[in-house]
Chains A and B, each alone.
Chain A
């Protein structure tokens, strides 16, 4: 799988390789620090989570948990492959698979301890980071938003719960359930087609 990017021409791969080299400073691998060189990334509230996702072994298909220290170009392409648009020629099954993969990427970002569940703590963490752009919103409200979202997830996934039932966290299946009916076609694609407009670096 790594390296094969259907729908992305060799031209674009070449572009990506150039960009990769630029990021790594002509090294064969990229380390986390290299992402500090991307100035536009600074302002992203969930920057750390995104950078982390690039090194996540689960996303790189290298293991069930843990982080890679460095990634090479193939790994880089693997990550990029999560963002490829759904092709017109794909059949229904492939579309579903593609969709699932994309959601899995997001899920892994939330599930930081790789236990297959987004626990309340993890969710709160994400929401806090999301809201961190606004200094006037306090952590407590971020927390209550996460609580509310978790509650919602619980009610979507478990239905009416028994009083003593405990909802431990969102599993991937639950996650898919939450996403049911929501179009992600436009939501997790980056167009690599117009690579010629690619900004040559800062």
Chain B
């Protein structure tokens, strides 16, 4: 609204606003370039199998730096120490701390600490002193103006083994895990020593060697303890906070992953702020919180945490190496001195090797499994230097350290040499030396059991001998953890079922289930493992799938708050497993692929589309339900002819009395006759797994029922989940789902397996509702005879939940239910918002009353 006198500038159709977006745009662009480069490298398997990715990235950085230099005439986009320490390093360290095999770390803690502390000190002092000696001998050009302190400072920053570089190279080499954890653990834990040495030397240099008092040396030693222990303490405090916070996220699952990252980052920043060892803080935070966090957060959050962490770490690592390459191009920083460069290269290699040999000799006096010569060679050679050294050397103050440019150049050469030359040759070296590689044998249940037995035996023997050794303390710690920590930091539901053996069993079961399905279910009929009074392997698979169903518990219903439903303490199988399962379980049932295609769309399509399709499906199902016109036999609504065995419809009702007045209505058509093996593929009688939020929208719409492609037999469980969740007992308190398994279910299990089946069912039930008094009352309905056309209203007025028998049965018919469930879960959160806005308890209850009545007329 300009004044009429002035000419209006007119609407600008196009405006270039580069400067407003420049900074974030550049960041995004560089990350993109790095990621694209990564993709390109991995196009050729040959290249990446020979050359480590870090080398390629550094080389790429060199090329890009050259281009930038040529175009912009000045070096830009370099690795800034601030960026590096605040943004690029934390994700990598968090990733390595969080996924650190803690048992392995603690088993080798003595060695790791020795190498990290003594080794780093040794390297720093010997390298610094030797370089000074070199200068005194006149082998370093006199223009390098540095005294003993300067060289010690340089030695302190160049001597630390770098976690980023070590990780990048060793991940591709696959040496045995002991060797890996020693080298990698050293690189992580030596950070405290590096930080202290660097700071102490730096301040000494700034003070000038003449002013350094004896007390300053003592302070320097004391600060080593302050920095390392302080950093670790900060990490542990945040780990504690993190674990405690995730205990209470039951209703806001969505922010669980965020919490993990936020608090870990806060730990890093806090340590950095207090000038403690930030790397140590994050490592300890990740290491300490993992056990409790994993038990507390939901399965999906776990997957998210894992992937996000890996993505961030890999991204940061890529960018670091690329920027390292780019930074090397900047010739203004360079000041070359051959004597210094060559001397440094020689000394770091020589003293590293010497230090490793000496320390290993001492350590081997104490170690149960001594480190042999080959191990020592790999450890010496694997001492890679990296971006930490580079960032530290950039941080030097040129006015105080006149030889800074020489140090920078030398550091770059050292980093490049170790990453490129040693990185390239370490793989052939490992092969040539025949270093014991890591064996990836699958964990077996027996092994897990035996190892536990061993742990107990060893602890007991130490008790008997009265020798308080490692096992004794580990045992003590575990008891303390079990008694206090876990109880404090874990959700009660997660705590009570937490057991390592059970976890392994559970994971193996899922593996079995997958292989079972991969074989197309042939195992069931072909193997006849007969063990005296033992369920066959197949029934183990049954158990596992039933477990799985229970895991997705109300997810079997179209529960809209699906994130809530997945129980955390139980499902330890990792993300890969999860995806495998989705795919694996679906595969053999190709028949339904076409009909289920909507769900596939749903997975990837946009939210809107999701909603539409979801509503369509809902509509259809609802109408098909309506269109049955109070019919007794729901089977008639089926598009496909049912088997003659369908004779009865059963209904379960569980009422939930409360504000929501949610009604669970389970209408179940079940084949009376026992199914033969052949019917395993006949999935005609699969019920709809139908839990609709009583959206008025859905109810109003639609007339004609579509064919019920997915699950022809309507099994309708229509509570209004949100209300229900608040009211229904299995959602609250223990968080334990009650598994309801009809005894009818056993009928579908082949006779020879019934025992096993029953066992697994009972074990499930007992697990699901452990012996706790607060457990919801299960109204267990007796299997009704043919007359079961009258719905049986539960006598118990208390809320109850019936796990639909055919769901349990789906233990056999894994494919649809299991494959369906995750997909349905995917789209539910999308519906949630809308539904909540639509749904008021009143409408819900009134609507479901109708349903209820209808059910009553059945």
Whole-angstrom distance between the Cβ of B28 and the nearest chain A Cβ = 47
Q: Are B529 and A40 in contact (CB under 8 A)?
A: no
Q: Are A45 and B456 in contact (CB under 8 A)?
A: yes
Q: Pick out which of these stretches binds chain A: B129-137, B500-508, B582-590, B813-821.
A: B500-508
Whole-angstrom distance between the Cβ of B155 and the nearest chain A Cβ = 35
Binary A-proximity of B441-455 (CB < 8 A = 1, otherwise 0): 100111101111110
Interface centre among B368, B471, B479, B528 (most CB of A within 10 A): B368
The verdict on A10 contacting chain B, using a C-beta distance below 8 Å, is no
Q: Are A46 and B469 in contact (CB under 8 A)?
A: no
Q: CB-CB < 8 A to A153: which residues of B?
A: 446
Whether A83 touches B461, Cβ cut-off 8 Å, given contacts A44-B456, A151-B531, A178-B446, is yes
The docked-state distance in angstroms from the alpha carbon of A22 to that of B467 is 13
In B105-135, the 8 Å CB interface with A consists of 107
Q: CB-CB < 8 A to B439: which residues of A?
A: 181
Whether A144 touches B760, Cβ cut-off 8 Å, given contacts A138-B771, A189-B368, is yes
Whole-angstrom distance between the Cβ of B477 and the nearest chain A Cβ = 12
Q: Are A199 and B468 in contact (CB under 8 A)?
A: yes
The verdict on A126 contacting chain B, using a C-beta distance below 8 Å, is yes
Q: Are B529 and A127 in contact (CB under 8 A)?
A: no
Partner of B464, one of A41, A154, A185: A41
Q: In this complex, what residue of B is CB-closest to A199?
A: B468
Question: Interface residues of B toward A: which range?
Answer: 35 or more
Q: Pick out which of these stretches binds chain A: B321-329, B417-425, B743-751, B761-769.
A: B761-769
Binary B-proximity of A1-29 (CB < 8 A = 1, otherwise 0): 00000000000000010010011000000
Whole-angstrom distance between the Cβ of A19 and the nearest chain B Cβ = 5
Partner of B770, one of A136, A156, A179: A136
Q: Are A136 and B528 in contact (CB under 8 A)?
A: no
Q: CB-CB < 8 A to A197: which residues of B?
A: 467-469
The docked-state distance in angstroms from the alpha carbon of A22 to that of B464 is 10
Q: Are B505 and A131 in contact (CB under 8 A)?
A: no
Q: Are A47 and B460 in contact (CB under 8 A)?
A: yes
Partner of A120, one of B453, B505, B531: B531
Q: Are A164 and B530 in contact (CB under 8 A)?
A: yes
The verdict on B637 contacting chain A, using a C-beta distance below 8 Å, is no
Partner of B498, one of A44, A50, A134, A155: A134
Q: Are A151 and B534 in contact (CB under 8 A)?
A: yes
In A121-151, the 8 Å CB interface with B consists of 126-127, 130-131, 133-134, 136-138, 140-141, 143-145, 147-151
Q: CB-CB < 8 A to B471: which residues of A?
A: 190
Whole-angstrom distance between the Cβ of B469 and the nearest chain A Cβ = 6
Q: Are B463 and A195 in contact (CB under 8 A)?
A: no
Q: Are B468 and A46 in contact (CB under 8 A)?
A: no
Q: Are B499 and A140 in contact (CB under 8 A)?
A: no
Q: In this complex, what residue of A is CB-closest to B497?
A: A136
Whole-angstrom distance between the Cβ of B478 and the nearest chain A Cβ = 9
Partner of A134, one of B461, B472, B499, B527: B499
Whether A191 touches B469, Cβ cut-off 8 Å, given contacts A40-B463, A141-B502, A143-B759, is yes
Whole-angstrom distance between the Cβ of B446 and the nearest chain A Cβ = 5
The docked-state distance in angstroms from the alpha carbon of A156 to that of B501 is 19
Whether A161 touches B527, Cβ cut-off 8 Å, given contacts A109-B453, A138-B771, is yes
Whether A44 touches B441, Cβ cut-off 8 Å, given contacts A136-B770, A186-B107, is no
Q: CB-CB < 8 A to B530: which residues of A?
A: 161, 163-167
Q: Are B454 and A106 in contact (CB under 8 A)?
A: yes
Whether A19 touches B763, Cβ cut-off 8 Å, given contacts A130-B449, A149-B446, is no
Whole-angstrom distance between the Cβ of A106 and the nearest chain B Cβ = 7
Partner of B461, one of A160, A179, A190: A190
| 10 nearest A-B residue pairs (beta carbon) | A163-B528, A136-B496, A140-B763, A40-B463, A138-B766, A149-B445, A50-B460, A141-B763, A199-B468, A145-B505
19 contacts between A and B (CB under 8 A): A38-B463, A43-B479, A44-B460, A47-B460, A120-B533, A140-B763, A144-B760, A152-B445, A155-B529, A161-B527, A161-B528, A163-B527, A164-B530, A166-B531, A178-B450, A184-B454, A189-B458, A191-B470, A193-B366
Given contacts A40-B459, A88-B370, A144-B763, 10 further A-B contacts (CB under 8 A): A133-B482, A151-B534, A152-B508, A156-B446, A166-B532, A168-B532, A178-B450, A184-B454, A192-B465, A199-B466
